[in-house]
Structure 1
Amino acid sequence: MSTEAASRRGVPDATVARLPGYLRALTALADDGVVSVSSEELSALAGVGPAKLRKDLSHLGSYGVRGVGYDVTMLAAEITEVLGLARDWPVAIIGMGNLGRALAAYRGFATRGFKVVAVLDHDERLVGLRAAGLVVQAMADLPALVREQGLAIGVIATPPESAQDVADQLVAAGVRSILNFAPVVLSVPGGVDVRKVDLGTELQILAFLAQQRTVPTTRTAEVS
Protein backbone atom coordinates (compact mmCIF):
# COMPACT_ATOMS: atom_id res chain seq x y z
CA MET A 1 0.00 0.00 0.00
CA SER A 2 1.35 3.44 -0.92
CA THR A 3 1.15 6.49 1.31
CA GLU A 4 -1.74 7.70 -0.82
CA ALA A 5 -3.51 4.39 -0.26
CA ALA A 6 -2.91 4.71 3.47
CA SER A 7 -4.64 8.08 3.47
CA ARG A 8 -7.55 6.61 1.55
CA ARG A 9 -8.06 3.94 4.19
CA GLY A 10 -8.74 6.57 6.84
CA VAL A 11 -5.34 7.87 7.91
CA PRO A 12 -5.22 11.68 7.35
CA ASP A 13 -2.84 12.94 4.67
CA ALA A 14 -0.89 15.03 7.21
CA THR A 15 -0.37 11.96 9.38
CA VAL A 16 0.73 9.87 6.40
CA ALA A 17 3.33 12.53 5.56
CA ARG A 18 4.84 12.19 9.05
CA LEU A 19 4.85 8.38 9.26
CA PRO A 20 8.14 7.95 7.34
CA GLY A 21 9.85 10.19 9.91
CA TYR A 22 8.52 8.05 12.76
CA LEU A 23 9.64 4.90 10.97
CA ARG A 24 13.13 6.32 10.39
CA ALA A 25 13.45 7.18 14.10
CA LEU A 26 12.15 3.76 15.17
CA THR A 27 14.55 1.99 12.83
CA ALA A 28 17.48 3.88 14.35
CA LEU A 29 16.28 2.98 17.86
CA ALA A 30 15.94 -0.68 16.93
CA ASP A 31 19.46 -0.67 15.46
CA ASP A 32 20.69 0.66 18.82
CA GLY A 33 18.93 -2.15 20.67
CA VAL A 34 16.20 0.05 22.20
CA VAL A 35 13.10 -2.00 23.08
CA SER A 36 10.58 0.68 24.05
CA VAL A 37 10.32 4.43 23.61
CA SER A 38 8.15 7.12 25.15
CA SER A 39 6.10 9.50 23.03
CA GLU A 40 8.30 12.36 24.23
CA GLU A 41 11.49 10.61 23.13
CA LEU A 42 10.08 9.48 19.80
CA SER A 43 8.59 12.87 19.02
CA ALA A 44 11.93 14.57 19.71
CA LEU A 45 13.70 12.18 17.34
CA ALA A 46 11.06 12.75 14.65
CA GLY A 47 10.94 16.51 15.13
CA VAL A 48 7.25 16.84 16.06
CA GLY A 49 5.34 17.59 19.26
CA PRO A 50 4.39 14.71 21.60
CA ALA A 51 0.67 15.48 21.34
CA LYS A 52 0.80 15.43 17.55
CA LEU A 53 2.71 12.15 17.57
CA ARG A 54 0.22 10.50 19.91
CA LYS A 55 -2.68 11.68 17.75
CA ASP A 56 -0.98 10.41 14.60
CA LEU A 57 -0.34 6.99 16.10
CA SER A 58 -3.89 6.78 17.42
CA HIS A 59 -5.06 6.69 13.80
CA LEU A 60 -3.13 3.43 13.51
CA GLY A 61 -4.68 2.05 16.68
CA SER A 62 -1.43 2.45 18.65
CA TYR A 63 -1.74 4.16 22.03
CA GLY A 64 1.34 2.93 23.89
CA VAL A 65 1.45 1.73 27.49
CA ARG A 66 1.49 4.24 30.32
CA GLY A 67 4.88 4.24 32.01
CA VAL A 68 6.36 2.03 29.30
CA GLY A 69 5.74 3.77 26.00
CA TYR A 70 5.66 2.15 22.59
CA ASP A 71 7.18 -1.18 21.66
CA VAL A 72 9.78 -0.13 19.06
CA THR A 73 9.67 -3.29 16.95
CA MET A 74 5.89 -3.60 16.95
CA LEU A 75 5.28 0.05 16.13
CA ALA A 76 7.87 -0.02 13.33
CA ALA A 77 6.19 -3.10 11.88
CA GLU A 78 2.77 -1.45 12.09
CA ILE A 79 3.92 1.70 10.30
CA THR A 80 5.72 -0.43 7.72
CA GLU A 81 2.47 -2.27 7.03
CA VAL A 82 0.38 0.91 6.80
CA LEU A 83 2.84 2.50 4.37
CA GLY A 84 2.85 -0.65 2.26
CA LEU A 85 6.55 -1.27 2.81
CA ALA A 86 6.20 -4.90 3.84
CA ARG A 87 7.08 -5.73 0.23
CA ASP A 88 9.63 -4.32 -2.20
CA TRP A 89 8.18 -1.86 -4.71
CA PRO A 90 9.77 -2.02 -8.19
CA VAL A 91 10.93 1.43 -9.29
CA ALA A 92 12.14 2.79 -12.62
CA ILE A 93 14.13 6.01 -12.93
CA ILE A 94 13.69 7.91 -16.17
CA GLY A 95 16.33 10.41 -17.21
CA MET A 96 19.99 9.49 -16.94
CA GLY A 97 21.45 12.94 -16.47
CA ASN A 98 23.37 13.84 -13.33
CA LEU A 99 20.29 13.73 -11.10
CA GLY A 100 18.98 10.48 -12.51
CA ARG A 101 22.34 8.76 -12.10
CA ALA A 102 22.64 10.03 -8.53
CA LEU A 103 19.17 8.70 -7.70
CA ALA A 104 19.97 5.34 -9.30
CA ALA A 105 23.06 5.05 -7.11
CA TYR A 106 21.21 6.01 -3.91
CA ARG A 107 21.37 3.03 -1.56
CA GLY A 108 18.61 4.31 0.68
CA PHE A 109 15.93 2.98 -1.67
CA ALA A 110 16.74 -0.64 -0.86
CA THR A 111 16.56 -0.10 2.90
CA ARG A 112 13.16 1.58 2.66
CA GLY A 113 11.24 -0.99 0.64
CA PHE A 114 12.03 0.13 -2.91
CA LYS A 115 14.01 -1.71 -5.58
CA VAL A 116 15.28 0.13 -8.64
CA VAL A 117 14.68 -2.44 -11.37
CA ALA A 118 15.34 -0.23 -14.38
CA VAL A 119 16.86 3.03 -15.57
CA LEU A 120 15.64 4.52 -18.84
CA ASP A 121 16.28 7.38 -21.21
CA HIS A 122 14.89 8.51 -24.56
CA ASP A 123 18.37 9.48 -25.77
CA GLU A 124 19.54 6.59 -27.95
CA ARG A 125 23.15 7.57 -27.27
CA LEU A 126 22.67 6.58 -23.60
CA VAL A 127 20.74 3.36 -24.22
CA GLY A 128 22.95 0.36 -23.59
CA LEU A 129 25.33 2.20 -21.27
CA ARG A 130 25.43 1.38 -17.56
CA ALA A 131 24.26 3.47 -14.63
CA ALA A 132 24.57 2.26 -11.03
CA GLY A 133 25.03 -1.29 -12.24
CA LEU A 134 21.99 -1.26 -14.53
CA VAL A 135 21.87 -1.09 -18.31
CA VAL A 136 20.07 2.02 -19.54
CA GLN A 137 16.95 0.96 -21.41
CA ALA A 138 14.85 2.69 -24.04
CA MET A 139 11.46 4.19 -23.20
CA ALA A 140 9.89 1.61 -25.50
CA ASP A 141 10.73 -1.00 -22.84
CA LEU A 142 8.30 0.51 -20.30
CA PRO A 143 5.26 -1.72 -21.04
CA ALA A 144 7.39 -4.87 -20.74
CA LEU A 145 8.78 -3.67 -17.40
CA VAL A 146 5.26 -3.24 -16.06
CA ARG A 147 4.17 -6.67 -17.30
CA GLU A 148 7.26 -8.67 -16.44
CA GLN A 149 8.65 -6.94 -13.33
CA GLY A 150 5.51 -5.37 -11.90
CA LEU A 151 6.93 -1.87 -12.21
CA ALA A 152 4.87 0.20 -9.79
CA ILE A 153 6.60 3.57 -9.43
CA GLY A 154 8.18 5.83 -12.00
CA VAL A 155 10.70 8.48 -10.98
CA ILE A 156 11.01 11.36 -13.45
CA ALA A 157 14.45 12.99 -13.42
CA THR A 158 14.31 14.57 -16.85
CA PRO A 159 14.49 18.22 -17.96
CA PRO A 160 11.12 19.98 -17.56
CA GLU A 161 10.36 20.00 -21.29
CA SER A 162 10.44 16.17 -21.35
CA ALA A 163 8.61 15.45 -18.11
CA GLN A 164 5.01 15.53 -19.37
CA ASP A 165 5.81 13.19 -22.26
CA VAL A 166 7.49 10.78 -19.84
CA ALA A 167 4.50 10.96 -17.48
CA ASP A 168 2.17 10.18 -20.40
CA GLN A 169 4.26 7.15 -21.32
CA LEU A 170 4.31 5.92 -17.72
CA VAL A 171 0.53 6.21 -17.46
CA ALA A 172 0.02 4.51 -20.84
CA ALA A 173 2.23 1.64 -19.68
CA GLY A 174 0.12 1.16 -16.55
CA VAL A 175 2.20 2.96 -13.91
CA ARG A 176 -0.05 4.70 -11.38
CA SER A 177 2.51 6.23 -9.00
CA ILE A 178 4.96 8.91 -10.11
CA LEU A 179 7.67 10.80 -8.24
CA ASN A 180 8.50 13.94 -10.21
CA PHE A 181 11.81 15.78 -9.80
CA ALA A 182 11.28 17.97 -12.87
CA PRO A 183 10.29 21.57 -12.04
CA VAL A 184 6.96 21.39 -13.85
CA VAL A 185 3.36 20.55 -12.94
CA LEU A 186 2.26 17.29 -14.56
CA SER A 187 -1.20 16.61 -15.95
CA VAL A 188 -2.32 13.06 -15.24
CA PRO A 189 -5.69 11.29 -15.26
CA GLY A 190 -7.62 10.42 -12.13
CA GLY A 191 -6.30 7.40 -10.27
CA VAL A 192 -2.67 8.35 -10.87
CA ASP A 193 -0.75 9.64 -7.83
CA VAL A 194 2.00 12.22 -8.37
CA ARG A 195 4.41 13.49 -5.74
CA LYS A 196 6.57 16.46 -6.67
CA VAL A 197 10.08 17.11 -5.38
CA ASP A 198 11.08 20.65 -6.38
CA LEU A 199 14.62 21.27 -5.15
CA GLY A 200 14.66 24.79 -6.56
CA THR A 201 11.54 25.79 -4.64
CA GLU A 202 12.92 24.39 -1.40
CA LEU A 203 16.14 26.35 -1.85
CA GLN A 204 14.16 29.53 -2.55
CA ILE A 205 12.22 29.04 0.68
CA LEU A 206 15.47 28.59 2.59
CA ALA A 207 16.82 31.76 0.97
CA PHE A 208 13.72 33.65 2.12
CA LEU A 209 14.08 32.36 5.68
CA ALA A 210 17.78 33.21 5.72
CA GLN A 211 17.00 36.74 4.52
CA GLN A 212 14.34 37.15 7.21
CA ARG A 213 16.90 36.33 9.88
CA THR A 214 19.17 39.14 8.67
CA VAL A 215 16.47 41.83 8.38
CA PRO A 216 16.29 42.82 12.10
CA THR A 217 20.06 43.14 12.31
CA THR A 218 20.20 45.30 9.18
CA ARG A 219 17.43 47.58 10.37
CA THR A 220 19.03 47.99 13.80
CA ALA A 221 22.29 49.00 12.18
CA GLU A 222 20.53 51.56 9.99
CA VAL A 223 18.76 53.13 13.00
CA SER A 224 21.92 53.36 15.06
Structure 2
Amino acid sequence: MATGRNHRPATRSRGIPEATVARLPLYLRALTALSERSVPTVSSEELASAAGVNSAKLRKDFSYLGSYGTRGVGYDVEYLVYQISRELGLTQDWPVVIVGIGNLGAALANYGGFASRGFRVAALIDADPALSGRQVAGIEVRHVDELESIIDTNGVSIGVITTPGGAAQQVCDRLVAAGITSILNFAPTVLSVPDGVDVRKVDLSIELQILAFHEQRKAAEALAQDVPEPLAAEAAPSGPGRDQGPDGDIPAVMPA
Protein backbone atom coordinates (compact mmCIF):
# COMPACT_ATOMS: atom_id res chain seq x y z
CA MET A 1 0.00 0.00 0.00
CA ALA A 2 1.32 3.44 -0.89
CA THR A 3 2.05 5.98 1.80
CA GLY A 4 0.76 9.54 1.91
CA ARG A 5 3.77 11.73 1.14
CA ASN A 6 3.83 12.82 -2.50
CA HIS A 7 0.69 10.85 -3.30
CA ARG A 8 -2.34 13.08 -3.90
CA PRO A 9 -5.89 12.05 -4.86
CA ALA A 10 -6.70 12.36 -8.54
CA THR A 11 -9.68 14.69 -8.10
CA ARG A 12 -7.98 17.92 -9.08
CA SER A 13 -6.13 16.60 -12.11
CA ARG A 14 -9.37 15.12 -13.41
CA GLY A 15 -11.23 18.38 -12.99
CA ILE A 16 -13.78 17.25 -10.42
CA PRO A 17 -15.44 20.35 -8.89
CA GLU A 18 -14.70 21.08 -5.23
CA ALA A 19 -18.44 20.93 -4.43
CA THR A 20 -18.53 17.38 -5.78
CA VAL A 21 -15.41 16.44 -3.81
CA ALA A 22 -17.10 17.73 -0.64
CA ARG A 23 -20.09 15.42 -1.27
CA LEU A 24 -18.08 12.27 -2.00
CA PRO A 25 -17.56 11.46 1.73
CA LEU A 26 -21.34 11.73 2.22
CA TYR A 27 -21.92 9.17 -0.54
CA LEU A 28 -19.18 6.95 0.85
CA ARG A 29 -20.70 6.99 4.33
CA ALA A 30 -24.13 6.03 2.96
CA LEU A 31 -22.64 3.33 0.71
CA THR A 32 -20.57 1.88 3.55
CA ALA A 33 -23.73 1.52 5.63
CA LEU A 34 -25.41 -0.31 2.72
CA SER A 35 -22.36 -2.53 2.27
CA GLU A 36 -22.39 -3.48 5.94
CA ARG A 37 -26.01 -4.61 5.44
CA SER A 38 -24.96 -6.65 2.37
CA VAL A 39 -27.11 -4.56 0.02
CA PRO A 40 -25.78 -5.31 -3.50
CA THR A 41 -27.24 -2.44 -5.52
CA VAL A 42 -28.86 0.93 -4.85
CA SER A 43 -30.85 3.36 -6.99
CA SER A 44 -29.77 6.98 -7.39
CA GLU A 45 -32.94 8.10 -5.57
CA GLU A 46 -32.29 5.82 -2.57
CA LEU A 47 -28.63 6.77 -2.31
CA ALA A 48 -29.35 10.48 -2.74
CA SER A 49 -31.92 10.33 0.05
CA ALA A 50 -29.45 8.54 2.35
CA ALA A 51 -26.74 11.13 1.58
CA GLY A 52 -29.08 14.13 1.92
CA VAL A 53 -28.81 15.41 -1.67
CA ASN A 54 -31.12 15.31 -4.70
CA SER A 55 -30.78 12.47 -7.20
CA ALA A 56 -29.98 14.73 -10.18
CA LYS A 57 -27.00 16.19 -8.31
CA LEU A 58 -25.84 12.70 -7.32
CA ARG A 59 -25.96 11.45 -10.92
CA LYS A 60 -24.03 14.53 -12.05
CA ASP A 61 -21.41 13.97 -9.34
CA PHE A 62 -20.99 10.31 -10.29
CA SER A 63 -20.61 11.23 -13.95
CA TYR A 64 -17.30 12.90 -13.01
CA LEU A 65 -16.17 9.50 -11.72
CA GLY A 66 -17.24 7.79 -14.94
CA SER A 67 -19.96 5.87 -13.09
CA TYR A 68 -23.45 5.96 -14.56
CA GLY A 69 -25.16 2.95 -13.03
CA THR A 70 -27.41 0.52 -14.89
CA ARG A 71 -30.94 1.42 -15.91
CA GLY A 72 -33.45 -0.55 -13.87
CA VAL A 73 -30.74 -1.89 -11.57
CA GLY A 74 -28.93 1.12 -10.11
CA TYR A 75 -25.37 1.30 -8.83
CA ASP A 76 -23.20 -1.56 -7.64
CA VAL A 77 -22.58 -0.72 -3.97
CA GLU A 78 -19.20 -2.44 -3.55
CA TYR A 79 -17.80 -0.99 -6.76
CA LEU A 80 -18.91 2.53 -5.81
CA VAL A 81 -17.29 2.15 -2.38
CA TYR A 82 -14.04 1.23 -4.08
CA GLN A 83 -14.37 3.92 -6.75
CA ILE A 84 -15.04 6.76 -4.31
CA SER A 85 -12.40 5.51 -1.85
CA ARG A 86 -9.85 5.49 -4.66
CA GLU A 87 -10.85 8.97 -5.81
CA LEU A 88 -10.52 10.33 -2.28
CA GLY A 89 -7.14 8.65 -1.85
CA LEU A 90 -8.41 6.29 0.83
CA THR A 91 -6.86 3.23 -0.76
CA GLN A 92 -3.52 4.62 0.41
CA ASP A 93 -2.03 4.84 3.88
CA TRP A 94 -2.09 8.47 5.11
CA PRO A 95 0.12 9.08 8.17
CA VAL A 96 -1.26 11.91 10.31
CA VAL A 97 0.24 13.90 13.18
CA ILE A 98 -1.94 15.53 15.83
CA VAL A 99 -0.40 18.59 17.48
CA GLY A 100 -1.95 19.63 20.80
CA ILE A 101 -2.92 16.77 23.07
CA GLY A 102 -5.47 18.43 25.31
CA ASN A 103 -9.01 17.11 25.67
CA LEU A 104 -9.84 17.49 21.98
CA GLY A 105 -6.53 16.13 20.72
CA ALA A 106 -6.80 13.12 23.03
CA ALA A 107 -10.37 12.50 21.88
CA LEU A 108 -9.27 12.52 18.24
CA ALA A 109 -6.40 10.17 19.05
CA ASN A 110 -8.92 7.75 20.56
CA TYR A 111 -11.26 7.94 17.56
CA GLY A 112 -11.39 4.49 16.00
CA GLY A 113 -12.66 5.64 12.62
CA PHE A 114 -9.32 6.91 11.31
CA ALA A 115 -7.72 3.54 10.67
CA SER A 116 -10.75 2.09 8.88
CA ARG A 117 -10.77 5.08 6.52
CA GLY A 118 -7.14 5.02 5.49
CA PHE A 119 -5.64 7.36 8.10
CA ARG A 120 -2.94 6.27 10.54
CA VAL A 121 -2.09 8.45 13.53
CA ALA A 122 1.69 8.40 13.23
CA ALA A 123 2.41 10.68 16.20
CA LEU A 124 0.91 12.78 18.96
CA ILE A 125 2.80 16.01 19.68
CA ASP A 126 2.51 18.56 22.47
CA ALA A 127 4.58 21.46 23.83
CA ASP A 128 4.00 20.51 27.48
CA PRO A 129 7.05 18.56 28.78
CA ALA A 130 4.82 16.94 31.39
CA LEU A 131 2.95 15.10 28.64
CA SER A 132 6.04 13.74 26.91
CA GLY A 133 6.25 9.98 27.20
CA ARG A 134 2.64 9.52 28.26
CA GLN A 135 0.49 7.06 26.36
CA VAL A 136 -2.72 8.26 24.72
CA ALA A 137 -4.71 5.69 22.74
CA GLY A 138 -1.64 3.46 22.86
CA ILE A 139 0.59 6.13 21.25
CA GLU A 140 3.43 7.89 23.04
CA VAL A 141 3.14 11.67 23.21
CA ARG A 142 6.25 13.35 21.78
CA HIS A 143 7.55 16.85 22.50
CA VAL A 144 7.05 19.53 19.87
CA ASP A 145 10.83 19.91 19.55
CA GLU A 146 10.73 16.59 17.65
CA LEU A 147 8.09 17.80 15.19
CA GLU A 148 10.26 18.11 12.09
CA SER A 149 12.09 14.80 12.57
CA ILE A 150 8.80 12.96 13.20
CA ILE A 151 7.29 14.34 9.99
CA ASP A 152 10.36 13.41 7.98
CA THR A 153 10.72 9.92 9.45
CA ASN A 154 7.06 8.99 9.00
CA GLY A 155 6.52 10.68 5.61
CA VAL A 156 3.61 12.68 7.00
CA SER A 157 1.70 15.02 4.68
CA ILE A 158 -1.40 15.71 6.84
CA GLY A 159 -1.27 17.62 10.12
CA VAL A 160 -4.09 18.13 12.63
CA ILE A 161 -3.90 21.22 14.85
CA THR A 162 -5.80 21.09 18.15
CA THR A 163 -3.77 23.69 20.04
CA PRO A 164 -5.10 26.90 21.65
CA GLY A 165 -5.68 29.66 19.11
CA GLY A 166 -2.61 31.66 20.12
CA ALA A 167 -0.23 28.83 19.28
CA ALA A 168 -1.89 27.60 16.09
CA GLN A 169 -0.18 29.83 13.52
CA GLN A 170 3.29 29.06 14.84
CA VAL A 171 2.54 25.34 14.75
CA CYS A 172 1.11 25.75 11.25
CA ASP A 173 4.27 27.51 10.04
CA ARG A 174 6.45 24.71 11.39
CA LEU A 175 4.26 22.04 9.82
CA VAL A 176 4.43 23.74 6.43
CA ALA A 177 8.18 24.30 6.67
CA ALA A 178 8.58 20.59 7.45
CA GLY A 179 6.72 19.59 4.32
CA ILE A 180 3.10 19.27 5.44
CA THR A 181 0.76 20.16 2.57
CA SER A 182 -2.65 19.51 4.16
CA ILE A 183 -3.86 20.76 7.55
CA LEU A 184 -7.04 20.10 9.51
CA ASN A 185 -7.44 23.02 11.90
CA PHE A 186 -9.53 22.75 15.06
CA ALA A 187 -7.97 25.84 16.67
CA PRO A 188 -10.26 28.89 16.99
CA THR A 189 -8.30 31.02 14.52
CA VAL A 190 -7.83 31.48 10.78
CA LEU A 191 -4.48 30.20 9.55
CA SER A 192 -2.33 31.86 6.91
CA VAL A 193 -0.66 29.38 4.56
CA PRO A 194 1.24 29.63 1.26
CA ASP A 195 -0.15 28.46 -2.08
CA GLY A 196 -0.14 24.71 -2.40
CA VAL A 197 -1.16 24.07 1.19
CA ASP A 198 -4.77 23.03 1.85
CA VAL A 199 -6.46 23.95 5.13
CA ARG A 200 -9.81 22.65 6.33
CA LYS A 201 -11.18 24.42 9.40
CA VAL A 202 -13.48 22.77 11.90
CA ASP A 203 -15.12 25.35 14.17
CA LEU A 204 -17.65 23.80 16.51
CA SER A 205 -18.82 27.19 17.83
CA ILE A 206 -19.73 28.33 14.31
CA GLU A 207 -21.69 25.14 13.69
CA LEU A 208 -23.57 25.69 16.97
CA GLN A 209 -24.30 29.30 16.01
CA ILE A 210 -25.78 28.13 12.71
CA LEU A 211 -27.95 25.64 14.56
CA ALA A 212 -29.03 28.43 16.95
CA PHE A 213 -30.08 30.52 13.94
CA HIS A 214 -32.27 27.70 12.63
CA GLU A 215 -33.75 27.08 16.09
CA GLN A 216 -34.61 30.77 16.42
CA ARG A 217 -36.23 30.79 12.98
CA LYS A 218 -38.29 27.69 13.75
CA ALA A 219 -39.43 29.23 17.03
CA ALA A 220 -40.46 32.44 15.25
CA GLU A 221 -42.38 30.48 12.61
CA ALA A 222 -44.15 28.48 15.31
CA LEU A 223 -45.07 31.69 17.15
CA ALA A 224 -46.44 33.23 13.94
CA GLN A 225 -48.64 30.20 13.40
CA ASP A 226 -50.08 30.58 16.91
CA VAL A 227 -51.13 34.23 16.34
CA PRO A 228 -54.90 34.41 15.59
CA GLU A 229 -55.61 35.54 12.01
CA PRO A 230 -57.61 38.70 12.97
CA LEU A 231 -54.74 39.91 15.19
CA ALA A 232 -52.24 39.27 12.41
CA ALA A 233 -54.41 41.30 10.02
CA GLU A 234 -54.62 44.20 12.49
CA ALA A 235 -50.85 44.19 12.93
CA ALA A 236 -50.20 44.39 9.19
CA PRO A 237 -49.97 47.91 7.68
CA SER A 238 -52.85 48.74 5.33
CA GLY A 239 -54.35 51.57 3.36
CA PRO A 240 -52.98 53.98 0.78
CA GLY A 241 -50.82 55.81 3.31
CA ARG A 242 -48.55 52.91 4.13
CA ASP A 243 -44.89 53.04 3.15
CA GLN A 244 -44.37 51.09 -0.07
CA GLY A 245 -41.52 50.13 -2.31
CA PRO A 246 -41.34 51.05 -5.99
CA ASP A 247 -43.48 48.03 -6.95
CA GLY A 248 -46.05 48.54 -4.22
CA ASP A 249 -44.37 46.12 -1.81
CA ILE A 250 -43.48 47.05 1.72
CA PRO A 251 -39.69 47.44 1.86
CA ALA A 252 -37.94 44.77 3.91
CA VAL A 253 -35.83 47.48 5.58
CA MET A 254 -37.52 50.81 6.28
CA PRO A 255 -35.47 53.97 5.55
CA ALA A 256 -34.07 55.80 8.53
* Superposition TM-score tier, normalisation by shorter sequence: over 0.9
Give the RMSD, CA atoms, in angstroms. Answer: 1.6
**Counterpart check, 1:198 vs 2:208:** no
SS state of the match for residue 95, structure 2?
strand
Out of 143, 159, 168, the residue aligned to residue 164 of structure 2 is 159
Paired residues, number = 223
Letter in 2 for 1:113: G
Q: In the alignment, is residue 65 of structure 1 matched against residue 76 of structure 2?
A: no
- Structure 2 residue runs of 5 or longer lacking an equivalent are 1-6, 233-256
The 5 A counterparts of 1:9-158 are 9-158=14-163
Structure 1: 4+ residue segments shifted above 6 A: none
Q: Normalized against structure 2, the TM-score is what?
A: 0.83
Structure 2 counterpart of 1:16, which letter?
V
Deviations 1:49-81 (A, max 9, x none): 111100000011100000011111111111111
Alpha-carbon deviation of 1:152?
Answer: 1.6
Name the TM-score, length of structure 1 as normaliser. 0.94
Cα deviation for residue 8 of structure 1 reads 4.5
Q: Deviations over 1:73-94 (max 9, x none)?
A: 1111111111011112001111
> Bigger shift: 139-148 or 97-106?
139-148
What's the counterpart of residue 250 of structure 2? Answer: none
**Distance (whole Å) between structure 2 residues aligned to residue 85 and residue 100 of structure 1:** 22
Calculate percent identity across the aligned residue pairs: 57
Deviation, structure 1 residue 143: 1.9
Rounded Cα–Cα distance in structure 1 between residues aligned with 2:188 and 2:80? 36
How far, CA to CA, are the matches of 2:127 and 2:90 in structure 1?
Answer: 30
- Partners in 2 of 1:180 and 1:136 — Cα distance? 19
